[in-house]
Structure 1
Amino acid sequence: MGDAKTHEKVVNGQLWNITEIKWALFPSKTGEIKIPSASLTADVVVKNDFNERSFFNTPFFDQLATTKRQVFNTEQLTINVKPLPEENKPAGFSNLVGTFNVNVGLSSNEVKVGDSTTLTVTIKGNGNIRDIPFPHLPQSQEYKLYEDEPTVKINTNANGLEGSKTFTTAIVPLKKGTITIPAISISSFDPKENKYTNLSTSSITLKVLPSDNPMNGTINSYSVDKQGVKILGKDISPIFSNESALANNSISPVIKIIFIILSIIPVIGFIISVFYYKYLSKISSDSGFIRRSKAMKKAVQKIKTLKQDTEFYNNASLLLREFIGDKINIDGRALTSMDIKTKLTVFKLNNDLINNIIRFLSECDAGLYGGKILSNENYSMLIENLNKLINRIDKEIK
């Protein structure tokens, strides 16, 4: 109940600092209720145990005293909560206990249809202020109600809690005339008088005037003369008054083509990105993919550099073996005819193709080591056979 209060008090010749903290308790059930003990942890000054006649038993050396942490507990309290009397208990009693009074008022006793006035109900007194229920007004065909959140103000005094709770309700009348706001009644139990009391207000009369808006109020009828649609002005563009004005507003063919191209570009970009993603995935998962994809172009370029000279047989044989190595992702320069047959069989190449490869390499070896003269006819035939071999190998091994 409010802030803690501190004061001094002399007990048995010793000065004490006292702090008082008060709570307001509102029991929610009857019978014996035990309030548990409160505890306080504090550092207590412990003086040094000097002889009374000792030189050290002086105020100066009292400053050298030590502290000791201790826990202090209050006694447990027991209270007996009596039940509220059943005799003369009002119907709908909400367990409101205390001494209260009620005030009510309207912000305006005269309004127009559709406007609002505010009904304010303030209940003051001592007791469990927060538990005061909302004094609802009955619904009516004459008005609409809009309730707001109540506001609470609480102070403390010697008798406990004192304060007020204010309820506001906006009332919007629906028709003109006189409206009677019914009386508000709240029941409570007064512990001082030991009896139930009924807090009641008088009814309030609200005068409702016709609204300035013809759509509101109790206007019986009104008529509107039917008129044709008129063109009031042509100062707002582009508003057209006939269909012919729209005839020449077609989009030009160039704009259409540009629009189509711009619409297709994202689709093409998406397709390219998909294929590029697959390409990158292929590269990352297959270390020989780049070698295989570039092998054909590399071999074709080297064939163009083959000259009809003494190095032709060696260069042609090396070119074919390197091409095969690139296609199967190994070093092809040291491949023998037996190695080629073994490796290419794994890739399920046609036996005729494998035999033609071995035959071409054997012919190159014969020309290189047998001193065979390379005639024009033989040169052209070997170049043609080499092109056929690398084309067939490229088709078989992807």
Structure 2
Amino acid sequence: MSKASSEQLEKIRQQFEFEPYPQTPIDYSPKENANLMFIHNLGNPYYLRDRTVIDSRNRVILDAGCGTGSKCLALAQANPGAKIIGIDLSEKSIEFAKKRLEYHGIENAEFHVLGIEDLPQLGIEFDYINCDEVLYLFPDIANGLRAMKAVLKPQGIIRSNLHSELQRYLYFRAQKLFGLMGLMDGNPEDLEIEIAIDILKALKPNVQLKQTLRPSAEGENRNEWVLMNLLFQEDKGYTIPDLFDGLRRADLEFVSMVNWQQWDLMTLFEDSDNLPPFLAMGLPGCSTEQQLHLYELFNARHRLLDFWCGHPNQAKPRQSIGEWDIADWKNTTVHLHPQLKTSEVREGLTRSLEQQAPFLITRYLGASVPEGESLFIDGAIASAMLPLWDSSQPFTALLDRYLKLKPVDAVTLDPISVTTAIEQLQLVFQQLESYLYLLLDSQE
């Protein structure tokens, strides 16, 4: 490691020794936050890549740069039966992470004061690596990705993220300003934090940099917020091309954005079926990287470029669900996403059925849904899905239940054919599957 890299790591370590992150109360449990659990479910990227439903039991998960352990706890609760290993440069953070998981009764976990570059010292290979809010601190993101790849199982998956250069541009300007003023020469502490806030407060309301001030700058988490934004040591911003360049240099393959539906370029247009001719002709030929870059240039709303990746050539080619025929559907097992399999969601579904109202499924899980979009399921299909809250079901069993619930056409009163019923279920199930609300496992 070069002297410069060593000095940069030491600055980062000192910052988190002074103010371990995040300052989430030890008694807070993310278990009731379906969106947070959804994001940390390791089955999502496996399904998106391979359309394979996997069991979390006996999987080995690394939280690289675990801080005070709030993500370790979320990973443990979202993936029952998995072993959780957390590493971090900050000894204080590791101590708190241990206490957090002990408090919540998570026994299958261990922690190490260790840098990501030193991961091979553990002698462990991982099914899933979570590296949240860390990679952008590396002098070269490819080096961080290579270090994680070295301990990733052949079919394993890495989740990591980068700060968006386009969305956070004002914070990077603030960091440059305060760096010029000498507030980031050493390890910023109470005095430097106070000076930075006083300077921003003194600005007129129409000065751009004043927009960086948030209510958090006045609350009990003031130090944490300022250090993670205005005075964040080694913080850097990236674009989608930077991300894909890092993946190529680390010889890793992009799987998906973590909030993939919220990166859909077509959702930015008033009428996606009637685009300006120049776009209509050009967009179909764009690569995934190009489409994601266009999205961030049109609408830089995401603070994080949050992504999954893995070893190259591990994806299992599978026929598109849109190309399935009736035989494929009849050979399919339908799984409900684990984060929907709660008493709260089931009670909400039952209540909708009793009130003969459509079921608003996005009320309970909206992590993968584009902003402002709602998804309702009508009564007969919602009722047909009810057994999924008990166990996974063959598609044919749900089809039989649906035919009993809706035996005739509401307009003609003619009996509904099996083919028509399959088509009606298929349309809804395909939409639910696109958000991973349902996972479809066909014996192809």
Given the two structures, how large is their TM-score scaled by the length of structure 2?
0.17
Q: Indicate the structure with greater strand content.
A: 1
- Larger relative CO (CA 8 A, sep 6+): 1 or 2? 2
**Structure with max Cα Rg:** 1
Q: Indicate the structure with greater helix content.
A: 2
